[in-house]
Structure formats: structure tokens, C-alpha cells
Chain A
Amino acid sequence: MTEPKHPVTATETSAPYGHDMDRGVARRLVVVGGGMVAHRLVEALRDRDADGAWHVTVVAEEPRAPYDRVALTSYFSGRDPADLALGTPDLWADPHVTLLRDTTVTAVDREVRTVTAVRNGVGSEAVLSYDALVLATGSSAAVPPVEGTDLPGVFVYRTVDDVAALRGWVEETARRRRRPVQGAVVGGGLLGLEAAGALQALGAQSTVVQFGPRLMPLQVDEGGGEALRRLINAKGVAVRLNTSTTRLRPGRDGAVRRMDFADGGRLDADVVVLATGVRPRDELARAAGLEIGPRGGVVVDDACRTADPHVWAVGEVACIQGSCLGLVAPGYAMAEVVVDRLLGGAAVFPGADTATKLKLTGVDVASFGDAFAQTDGALELVHADPVAGVYTKLVLSDDAKTLLGGVLVGDASAYASLRPMLGRELDGDPGAYLLPEGAGTGRPQTSLPDDAAVCSCNNVTAGTVRAAVTEHGCTDLAGVKACTKAGTSCGSCLPLVKKLVTTELERTGVTVSQALCEHFDLSRAQLFDAVRVTGLRTFSEIIARHGRADLPGARGCDICKPVVASILGSLGAGHVLDGENATLQDTNDHVMANLQKDGTYSVVPRMPGGEVTPEGLIVVGEVARDFGLYTKITGGQRIDMFGARIEQLPLIWRRLVDAGFESGHAYGKSLRTVKSCVGQTWCRYGVQDSVALAVELELRYRGLRSPHKIKLGVSGCARECAEARAKDVGVIATDKGWNVYVGGNGGFTPRHAQLLAEDLDTPTLIRTIDRFLMYYVRTADRLQRTAPWIEEVEGGLDGVRAVVLDDSLGIADELDAAMAAHVEAYTDEWRATLDDPEKLARFASFVNAPTTPDPSLAYVPERGQRRPATPAEREAVLVAGPSLEVRS
């Protein structure tokens, strides 16, 4: 074995290459490339090679472990790049695995079976010996032979770094040009459309420039292409078909500014994404004298082996059965074949599953099998509804029974259940699959054979999913995903997996639990409806009527009680501390303040729209000073005062209420704030009065109890200084009115809000938000924010839009009335508490010493204010401090 000439850093792993304990025993596998297929290969090898017959070294060019390239576009919807990580990091800590990141293989010597690896940027070089070499170098983005593709502002769309650079450029350009960025994508294939969606997600206008006569020409036929074009247009992305780009021209700053087309047309563009295809990265193989396919790619046999028995190729770089396959599923299949062969098996590549689903919000496209009906005698069954923007086609065998393929545009909901039926006889009338979901008698229920592949990314069959339930005891979708890996890559099969799991659980007698907790079999939404209809108003009545009948003495828990409290709150059932209501509240709602780590609370008076008078500020300052509260400005444009003891809360609020403040509901699962920029009244750029609208909205929705907290934002122009798109409801002013976005949030999984409606006048805007919020309040799960709710609610965002704007469920009047009742019934719950001696009694520190402070509290000064003492500091403070005396 050749030792490295210069050390290649391998700090990422526990065992640097060449120092493995199995050295001399294990055979050496070198994988060139660190993409998804390489990841799958290593994962499969470690899964199956229990004896450690192989030590695998992965040489990856990118500075990070393999990640989910398929989900790259989601990076634009605010997902952290770290979320794209594949599998668990444990794989790379395995002593049989070495990952060399940021390292490029520059040469392969097949005579002596070594590769030369060079650390990027450092130049240190290592020579690695192999017993088997797998080329998994993937593809690079093909750059079309057009002048100007090297200009700043021109990007390809392939890696996290490409995407990050593109994102940086768009954001920077928007700042510099102070207007919406004009973007263009060259290429109207799958990747081009995803790139166009990504540009739009970044706030750029985008135009797709397609050389050919239709979009996604490899996946959809003419009818589908036309339906797709209309859908893309409707999303606000312009499309130019039959257009050949001849030149990209720079502006005065040297960056790209304009595109010239062969037909003499031109298009202004601040950013251009090239998505014209990919080219296999076969340079190493060429240099090593391996056979290359006619259109590139390393030629391999059905075992994925090259003519050299020690060298294999997998994924996009492999030319298998005459072509290179640019999809992840066949790559995964190749990885599995190679692993099997390395371990002495005889697996062969089963043929490509080229099924595709476009991952672009609001544009549903799927294509699978023989989408172009090229099989002899194939029948095409087409359903086109241009008004609804739907085009669906099934390709069937000549007896109209066996499913050969299909194209679904506009409504691909049948994709998950159809794809596994490929090559099989469909039950019932095939035409029924083409009708929209919910139409007429509905789709035939397919019962999938056990050997049908449900998740083609991870090659999981229906039988495996069923076994996860019946044999491995999985009881929910999350468990089945962890157990089988189904749905963990592209996720398009999840609806089907969920259905299989549900069916299987029901079959084995397990009721699929939507149950809130052990006391209620109902979900939050079901309980909300039940309580709304029965009109019950106390927990005892509700649990007796709607709780589990077999638990007569049950008294609820910390899950169901706050849910009932929230439902009663949304239905306007009185003050949070009225009667039995008081026992249902989390401590925050119970004392109407936010519990902090030392057991004291923080106090937040409402400042609608972030507006506060100088007099108000002075009162807040005086209260904070007099009670020794730590003050901090919140992200929601108001002031938080920390360190209030429970018995101090009424005293603090007496003063705040007297000064005209009211509860800010910072403690509640309810409306928090409506953040706003300063707007037209002061700002030079504002086009509408954002502050006035924010104040109006905040006063309208204050106190509305909901499944989770709700935040709103209003920006006075497209510069979006209020960051409204990070809110559950974001409103952005236009010249003509208001655009409203929904489903944004910060926090653990940040999301950008998506456009719900454009250019609304103020009354229509308010009615739209009224309905959106009420619909959410009624139907969301416990602690479900608007973004995941929109994903799960019937019809997704389009469904929400239909309900809110077109009253598709016929409940708009009801929603309007419910909101009107809320607005009418609102009272400040702190003022109501101060007026009621019985409620005030709840704020005693001790039932036998109502004004004695908690003796355990201890503080130290920091930057001119006080903060809770750390455990180490407490000793000193408590011994010397003034709080000691209260113990007597």
C-alpha cells in the first residue's frame, strides 16, 4: 500500500485513511465523487458488509458531506443548507469509511491501481491504492456556446455553492438597483423551471427562455407542455418558446444586463441562470483510457462495471444501456448493484425508472413510464381541462388494461398511486384516474402488490412498508420512514406511503391516531367543530361528552387542557380566568405573562404596529425602573420587561392600564404583533400607509386565540422593510393596493410566505385575512403554524385560496361572522382582571404569604440592568443578598 506523499487531512473521520484497524485485511474501495449516489453506495455497503470486508474512501470535491441535490430548490424557500444533509453523520464516523472533502482526484493509474488526490486550495497530494474504484463524478452543468456566459451575474444551477452564489447576487442586486431584479433562465427543462421558481422565491421577476417548442420536452407531450406553460405563466413566470439565445451583453458595470435572441428580440436581465443540460464528468475515465459513450459518459455493462474489472461507474457519469441518466433513482439502483457485486453478488441494473415530478410550488407536473406512447399499439387516454389548467394522460397497453406510463400536469395527485402500478393491470375504469380528486365517485382504490416499488428513490416496495407496520411495530408515518427510508429523498411518494401505513394499521386493528392525547380520540380540528356545534363551554362538560368514554374519571392533561382553553377562547367563551377556564391554561395564559427560566415573568404591553407615544415610553420606562425589570426591544417592535414576580404582575399592570396600555398577548397562542415599516407618511419610497393598516389589523385580531402564535407584517412598498414575508400573514403595498402573502415564519424551520392574492383594496384585504385566519383557527392541528397547515390542509395553498377568495366550501359567511363576533367581543383581559378581586387572588406568591417574594430568586447586575444569577453566582448572592430576610 502506498502511503500518502503529503498528508491529506481527514479530520472529519475517526480513522484517517491507511490507519484502519482492519488494514491488511479489508480490501480498499475508492469512490471518486461525493454526491447522492456516492452516499447511497457507502450507506448500502455499510449496511450489508457486516464483516468489514471493504474499507471505503470517498473523495469529494465539495467541502461538505453528500447532500440532497434534488431538494436544492428548497434552499430558496428558506431551508438551511444543513437541512439538505443526507442520512446521519454517523456514516462518516464509521471506522470503515473515510471521507476526504474538498479534495479532487486528478489522475487514475489503472496499471498499479492508484488514484492521485489533491486537496483543493492547499495542493497537498496523496496517492490512494484501490482494489476497486467507483467513478461517481456525476455531471457538470453544460454551458451553451453563447457569448457572454462568463459575465458576472450568469450562473449555473448545480451545487449548494451555485445556489448560494445566485442567492447572494440576487439579494445584492435588489439592494443596489432598488427595484425588483429581472431574472432569466436559459432552458425550459425540469431544472430550468426549478431555477425560475427559485428566482421568483428570491423576489426576482423571471423569464424562461426555451430553445424548443415546449417546456419539459423530455417529460411531457405537446398537450402537457401547453398546459404547463399556462401554469407557469399563471405563477408570474414569463415563457419564451422557440427562442435561441445568441449573446449575453454586459451593462456599464460589466455584469450581465441584456440577452439577445436569434429572432432579433432582446430581454433585460440582471441575472441569468443557465439550465441547458448537463454533461457527464468523464475526464478522469477518458484520461485513463476507458471507453466513453457517443455522447459522453463512462461505458459500463449491466453490472455497472467498465471493461477494467477493477473499475466501476455509477450515477450520471455512467453510460449504461447506451445512455447517461440524469436522475437520482437510477443512480441509486446502480449503487446498489455495485455494492452487491463487491460483496460477491450477481445483481444487474434493472433498467431506468425515469419517472419525474417537478418540485415547484403550485405547479404540479409528473411524468412516468412510456410518457410518449412509443410502445407498439399503446393507447393514450387524455383528459384536458384548459380552464382548470389540468392536462392528464395515461398510456395503456393495447387492451387498455396495463399501465405503461403517463403525464400529469396541473394535478399530479394521482402520481403517487399510479407510478407503482406501472406495468401492471389497473383495477376498474382507467379513465377514473384522470378525473380530479373528489370528482364523482372518486378514484378506484388500488391495492398495490407487495413487490410494487412505492419509493423509487430508495427502492422501497409496498411490501416493505407493510412489513414495517406488521413486523417491525411501526405505528406512524415517521416510524415507517425511519425504518424503511421510504419517502426520505424526494418525498413525492409520501402521500402513498402514508395511505399504505394507515391502511395497514387499520387492518391490524390499530386505529390511526389523530387523537389529541390519551383523553380525546379527536384531533384538534375535530374537537373544535364538536365544541362549536354542541356549544359546551366547560372542560368538565367537554371531556364528558367528547372525551374517551372508557376513562370516566379522567381529568385531562397538559396537552388537551390548553387545547380546550384555546378552542373556547377562539369561540369567545369568556375570560381566560373565568371559572373552570382558569384550570386549563398554561401558566403563561393563566397569569397573562411569559414564564422565564427562574420562575419570574416578562411583561409586554401592546404597541399596535410598533407605534408608541413618548408619554407611553416614559410610563414603560418608569414601571421598569420602579419594579427593577430588565428591558429589551423585541423582534415584534415592542418592549419586553423581564423579571416580574407573580405577585407583582397586577401592580405593574395597574400602572400600565392606567396609562392606556393593554395586554400584548405575548404569552398566548394568539395574535402577537403586526410589524410595520414607517410607510408612506414619512418614508420617501412608501406607496401606502403601512402603519395605519398595521394598527388597524393589530386592533382587529388582538386577543384571537389560535392553534399557535400568529404574527403579521405590513410593508409600505416592495422594499419590504417590515419583513412581512417572514410572517404568517404578510401584506406588501403595491401601486394599486395590497398583495397578501401567507404561511411565513421565522423560528426553528423558517419559511417565506407565499402569495395568496394581489392588488386588493383595503376592505377586500381585511376580509381575506379574516377568512384565512378563521379557517386556520378552525382546522389546524395543535401547535401547527400556518406554513405546515397550508401544506396539509385540503388542496394546499390553492385550496386555501379557493376557500378564502372563492368560497369553495360555502363557509365564508360563517368565517366572516366568527371574526366579526371576535372583534365585537374583544376586551382587554388585563383590565378585566384588575377589576375582579377573585381573579386578582390568583396572583399570590404563597397562599399563606400572598406578597412574600419567592426567596430563591437571585440577581446580579449586568450592563446597567439585572439578570438571573447563575448557579455559581447564586451562592454568594443568596448568602449576602437581601432576599434572605424574607425566610424569617
Chain B
Amino acid sequence: MTAVLDTSRLAWTAVCHLADLLPERGAAALVQGEQVALVRLHGPDGGVGESGAQESEPVVLAVQQLDPFSGAHVMSRGIVGTRGEVPTLASPMYKQVFDLRTGVCLDRVGREPLAGHEADLRTWPVRVEAGLVLVGSRPAEVAR
């Protein structure tokens, strides 16, 4: 599974400073009218330094704020962790676990998403430049 991204026509919204994001505690942002959950990882810099740009490993990831299993916009309030090497976000509502990089639901904990919703989360491209967190104007298309 790879995120196929046509960056040519992508606009970027600066949502906050990297320092505004506490490592491993999500925050919600409004991007082009959409609610997005931002997560700053406990990064290679230890998550405490002021890295000016995304290193080879991403420091900030973005997925949809809408929890497909409850219909509430709460994903940024979930617990951030890892499964194996995969950075994860758990829904604060019914505790489904998602891969933060791809949005794929790794554990449905016995539930189905609400009618009309995919179990997986959409993801947004994120760049960090000059200490600013920039979020792409539309979600990444996921090729399966």
C-alpha cells in the first residue's frame, strides 16, 4: 500500500508552529473546512528539539479527525503509541487502532464502522518548514 500523491496541484495550509504540538498528543486543525487530526511523533530528535524541517522520518502526521466507528470528530484526542514499528493512534471513543502513516485500521476491536464510512482513515500530507507545520489542502489518495 503506498500513498500516491500528486503534489503538483497541492496547496499547503500553515496550521501552527511545530512547538505548538506536544509530542504524542494529538491536536485538531481546520484545513480547507475539513477537520484534521495532527500528531507529532516522539521523533528522531527525541521530540523535544526544534527541528526546522521534516527529516527523512516524518515528525508530524495527519489523519481525519472523524472517527469512522462513532461518527464523532475526536481522533486527535486518542492515545498515540506504536505497534511493532508502526506509529499508531487509538480512537478515544471505542479504542480502534489506526496506522498513523497510512490511516489503515489495524484493530477494529469487534466493531464495524458506521454506515457510509470506511474503516480506514484518510491521511493528509504534512511538511514542516521553518518551524511551521504545513498541511496539504486535500487528503492523499490511497492506492490499494
Task: Point out the residue from A556, A583, A586, A847 that lies within 8 Å of B23, measured CB to CB.
Answer: A583
Give A585's nearest chain B residue, CB to CB. B79
Give chain A residues whose Cβ lies under 8 Å from the Cβ of B25. 582-583, 590, 842
A237 to B: closest C-beta gap in Å? 44
Stretch at the interface among B3-11, B91-99, B119-127: B91-99
Q: Say yes or no for A844: interface residue by CB 8 A criterion.
A: yes
Give chain A residues whose Cβ lies under 8 Å from the Cβ of B23. 583
The listed residue with most A CB atoms (<10 A of its CB), out of B29, B79, B85, B90, is B79
Q: Are B82 and A558 in contact (CB under 8 A)?
A: no
List A residues 848-875 near B (Cβ within 8 Å).
848-849, 852, 854-856, 871
Task: Point out the residue from B24, B30, B72 that lies within 8 Å of A852, measured CB to CB.
Answer: B30
Knowing A555-B24, A583-B23 are in contact, say whether A856-B30 is a contact too (CB < 8 A): no
Q: Are B42 and A555 in contact (CB under 8 A)?
A: yes
Give chain B residues whose Cβ lies under 8 Å from the Cβ of A855. 35
A266 to B: closest C-beta gap in Å? 60
Docked Cα-Cα span, A338 to B90, in Å, equals: 53
Stretch at the interface among A502-510, A591-599, A707-715, A727-735: A591-599
Q: Say yes or no for B21: interface residue by CB 8 A criterion.
A: yes
Q: Are A847 and B20 in contact (CB under 8 A)?
A: yes
Q: Say yes or no for A887: interface residue by CB 8 A criterion.
A: yes
**A-B contacts at CB below 8 angstroms, number:** 104
Q: Are B92 and A595 in contact (CB under 8 A)?
A: yes
Q: Say yes or no for A120: interface residue by CB 8 A criterion.
A: no
Q: Say yes or no for A39: interface residue by CB 8 A criterion.
A: no
Q: Are A587 and B81 in contact (CB under 8 A)?
A: no
Q: Say yes or no for B101: interface residue by CB 8 A criterion.
A: no
Q: Are A599 and B72 in contact (CB under 8 A)?
A: yes
Q: Are B35 and A555 in contact (CB under 8 A)?
A: no
Q: Are B77 and A846 in contact (CB under 8 A)?
A: no
Give A838's nearest chain B residue, CB to CB. B22
A575 to B: closest C-beta gap in Å? 14
Q: Say yes or no for B130: interface residue by CB 8 A criterion.
A: no
Q: How many residues of A contact B (CB 8 A)?
A: 39
List B residues 78-115 near A (Cβ within 8 Å).
78-85, 87-88, 90, 92-93, 95, 97
Give chain B residues whose Cβ lies under 8 Å from the Cβ of A598. 71-72
Docked Cα-Cα span, A587 to B21, in Å, equals: 16
B94 to A: closest C-beta gap in Å? 10
Docked Cα-Cα span, A221 to B8, in Å, equals: 90
Q: Say yes or no for A557: interface residue by CB 8 A criterion.
A: yes
Task: Point out the residue from A518, A646, A871 that lies within 8 Å of B83, measured CB to CB.
Answer: A518
B3 to A: closest C-beta gap in Å? 22
Q: Are B77 and A587 in contact (CB under 8 A)?
A: yes
Give B89's nearest chain A residue, CB to CB. A558
Give B15's nearest chain A residue, CB to CB. A848
Give chain B residues whose Cβ lies under 8 Å from the Cβ of A846. 27-30, 35
Q: Are B90 and A557 in contact (CB under 8 A)?
A: yes
Q: Say yes or no for A821: interface residue by CB 8 A criterion.
A: no
Q: Say yes or no for A553: interface residue by CB 8 A criterion.
A: yes
Docked Cα-Cα span, A584 to B25, in Å, equals: 9
Give B91's nearest chain A residue, CB to CB. A558
Q: Say yes or no for B70: interface residue by CB 8 A criterion.
A: yes
Give chain A residues whose Cβ lies under 8 Å from the Cβ of B70. 597, 599
Give chain A residues whose Cβ lies under 8 Å from the Cβ of B38. 847
Knowing A582-B22, A846-B28, A846-B29 are in contact, say whether A555-B73 is a contact too (CB < 8 A): no
Q: Are B27 and A844 in contact (CB under 8 A)?
A: yes
Q: Say yes or no for B33: interface residue by CB 8 A criterion.
A: yes
Q: Say yes or no for B142: interface residue by CB 8 A criterion.
A: no
B109 to A: closest C-beta gap in Å? 10
Q: Are A848 and B82 in contact (CB under 8 A)?
A: no
Give chain B residues whose Cβ lies under 8 Å from the Cβ of A848. 13, 15-16, 29-30
Knowing A597-B70, A846-B30 are in contact, say whether A557-B88 is a contact too (CB < 8 A): yes
A741 to B: closest C-beta gap in Å? 33
Docked Cα-Cα span, A555 to B90, in Å, equals: 13
Give chain A residues whose Cβ lies under 8 Å from the Cβ of B35. 846, 854-856
Q: Say yes or no for B63: interface residue by CB 8 A criterion.
A: no
Give A874's nearest chain B residue, CB to CB. B71
Q: Say yes or no for B59: interface residue by CB 8 A criterion.
A: no
A844 to B: closest C-beta gap in Å? 7
Task: Point out the residue from A555, A582, A597, A849 that lies within 8 Å of B72, measured CB to CB.
Answer: A597
Knowing A583-B23, A854-B73 are in contact, say whether A845-B28 is a contact too (CB < 8 A): yes
Q: Say yes or no for B74: interface residue by CB 8 A criterion.
A: yes
A382 to B: closest C-beta gap in Å? 53
Q: Are B97 and A558 in contact (CB under 8 A)?
A: yes
Q: Say yes or no for A554: interface residue by CB 8 A criterion.
A: yes
Give chain B residues whose Cβ lies under 8 Å from the Cβ of A586. 79, 92
Q: Are B81 and A555 in contact (CB under 8 A)?
A: yes
Docked Cα-Cα span, A846 to B15, in Å, equals: 9
Give chain A residues whose Cβ lies under 8 Å from the Cβ of B15. 847-848
Give B87's nearest chain A residue, CB to CB. A555
Task: Point out the residue from B16, B29, B30, B81 that lies within 8 Å of A561, measured CB to CB.
Answer: B81
Q: Are A554 and B29 in contact (CB under 8 A)?
A: no
Give A588's nearest chain B residue, CB to CB. B92
Give chain A residues whose Cβ lies under 8 Å from the Cβ of B81. 519, 555-558, 560-561
Q: Say yes or no for A192: interface residue by CB 8 A criterion.
A: no
Give B82's nearest chain A residue, CB to CB. A555
B11 to A: closest C-beta gap in Å? 15
Give A888's nearest chain B residue, CB to CB. B33
A28 to B: closest C-beta gap in Å? 41
List A residues 615-673 near B (Cβ within 8 Å).
646
Q: Say yes or no for A562: interface residue by CB 8 A criterion.
A: yes
Task: Point out the residue from B29, B42, B82 that lies within 8 Å of A557, measured CB to CB.
Answer: B82
Beyond contacts A562-B79, A848-B29: 12 other A-B pairs, Cβ-Cβ < 8 A, are A561-B81, A583-B80, A584-B79, A587-B74, A597-B70, A598-B71, A842-B22, A842-B25, A844-B27, A845-B28, A846-B30, A856-B35
- Residues on A lying within 8 angstroms of B by beta carbon are 518-519, 540, 551, 553-558, 560-562, 582-584, 586-587, 590-591, 595, 597-599, 646, 841-842, 844-849, 852, 854-856, 871, 887
What 9 pairs between A and B have smallest CB-CB spacing? A599-B72, A557-B81, A558-B90, A587-B92, A558-B79, A583-B24, A587-B77, A847-B27, A848-B15
- 17 A-B interface contacts by CB (under 8 A): A555-B87, A557-B88, A560-B81, A582-B25, A583-B24, A583-B25, A590-B25, A597-B93, A841-B20, A842-B25, A846-B29, A847-B21, A848-B15, A848-B16, A849-B30, A856-B35, A871-B71
- Residues on B lying within 8 angstroms of A by beta carbon are 13, 15-16, 20-25, 27-30, 33, 35, 38, 41-42, 66, 70-74, 77-85, 87-88, 90, 92-93, 95, 97
